[in-house]
Amino acid sequence: MSSSLPETLRRSMALADLPRSASPLPGIGGQVKAAPEDFVVEEIPAFPPSGSGDFLYLWIQKTDWDTRALLRMLGERLGIETGDVGTAGVKDRRAITRQTISVPSHCHDRLGALEDVEGFEVLRVDRHGHKLRTGKLRGNRFSILLREPSGTLEAAESIAAHVRQGLPNFYGEQRFGREGSTAELGWDFLRGEKTSRTRRAGRNRFLRRMAISAVQSALFNDYLLRRIAVNQHREVLAGDRMARRDSGGPFRADDVATEQSRFEAGETVMTGPIFGSRVLRAEGDAFELEQKVLDEAGIQTDDFGRFKKLALGTRRPLLIWPEQLEVTAVEAGIRVDFSLPPGSYATVVMREFQGEGDR
C-alpha cells in the first residue's frame, strides 16, 4: 500500500485555502478558464536563436494541449524520442500558449507532419546551437479573462494595487496533479514505496521528475505558509538566503537591519528552500524553520539523493511582483494582463482577484 502525504503538505497544496495578500479587500469572484481562449500565455524568451546550429527552435501556438501529450505527439510525428524535445517550462493545458520548443535539426524535413495537428501550429522556425533547457526563459506574459465577475472594475483596480506590492510566490495546484496525485506519487518515490504505479512511472523520466518536483513544491509552500502565519514573509530573518531582484544573485543575510532596508527598497527578496540533495540551506533562525518543515514531514534532504539530477534542490523567492499588471473591462467580464518570472503561477495572481483564501 502506498504511503499518504503528511497533513502539513496536503494543507500547503490547497491553493483555494491559502491566504491572500489582498485579503483586506473582498474578491470579485468570476470564472477563469471557461474556454481555452480565456487564458493566453506567451513565453518571454531568455535569448534569441542564433540562426545556426544543430537544433531547430520552433515558435509554436497550441490550444488545449498539456505538455506530456505535446511531447508524445511530437515524438510520434517527427520520429524522435520525447526526451529529444526541449522546452523552457510546463504550460497550462486549458489555454492558448505561444512558446518555443527545440528539436534536432534532422527533423526539418519532417515538419510537414505537424501541419494537420488540431490545436497546434508552428509559427516560426529558427536554428540554435544547443537544446532548449528547462528554465531558459525570462518569464511569461498572461492575458486572462475573468468571466462574469460579481465585482466592478473599480474593485479589480483596488485589488491590483495590492498585488503590485508583491504577493506570496506559492506553487499552484496544477503542480500537484489532480487531487494531489502527482505529489502522492512523488511521496511514494521518496519513501521507497514499491507499487504498480511507482514501477510504471519509474520508467518515465518526465513523470518521475514531475512527481519529485511536486513534493519539493509542497514543502516550499509549507515553508512559506509558516512564515506568513507569523508575519515573517516580509521580514528578513538572521541567516536568510536572499536573492537580488535584478539578477537573482544569492547571498546570506548577516546584517538583518541592512538587509531589511534593502528588501523594503525593492532590491532584494528572501528565498525559501526547494529541498534537494544539494540545496543551499539557510542558517540561524531561518534554518530552524526550514528544518521544522522537514521534521514534521518526516523526511531528510538525503532522501532526495537517490534521484540524482532530478532533485538537486535550489532556492525560490518567497514573494513575486507581477509586472505590467493592468485590468480592463470587456464585454464578457474583466481582462487581467501581467507578466511573471519563470516558475511563478498565474493562478496565484488570479485567486487574489477572485477572492479564494478568505475563508
Active-site annotation, residues: 92
Closest CA to 270 of 318, 227, 222: 318
How many Cα neighbours within 13 Å face the side chain of 167? 30
The grid coordinates listed for 288 are: 530552524
Q: Are 241 and 275 in contact (CB under 8 A)?
A: no
Interhelix angle 205-229/67-78, nearest 10 degrees: 160
- Type and span of the H or E element at 293: helix 284-297
The grid coordinates listed for 145 are: 479573462
Exposure letters 57-70 (e unless 16+ CB within 10 A, then b) = bbbbbbbbbebeeb
Enumerate the β-bridge partners of residue 103.
56
Round to the nearest angstrom and report the end-to-end CA distance of the chain. 34
Q: Are 67 and 143 in contact (CB under 8 A)?
A: no
Q: Amino acid identity of 137?
A: L
Q: Supply the DSSP symbol for 309.
A: G
Exposure letters 137-148 (e unless 16+ CB within 10 A, then b) = bebbbbbbbbbe
Q: Are 304 and 298 in contact (CB under 8 A)?
A: no
Interhelix angle 205-229/284-297, nearest 10 degrees: 120
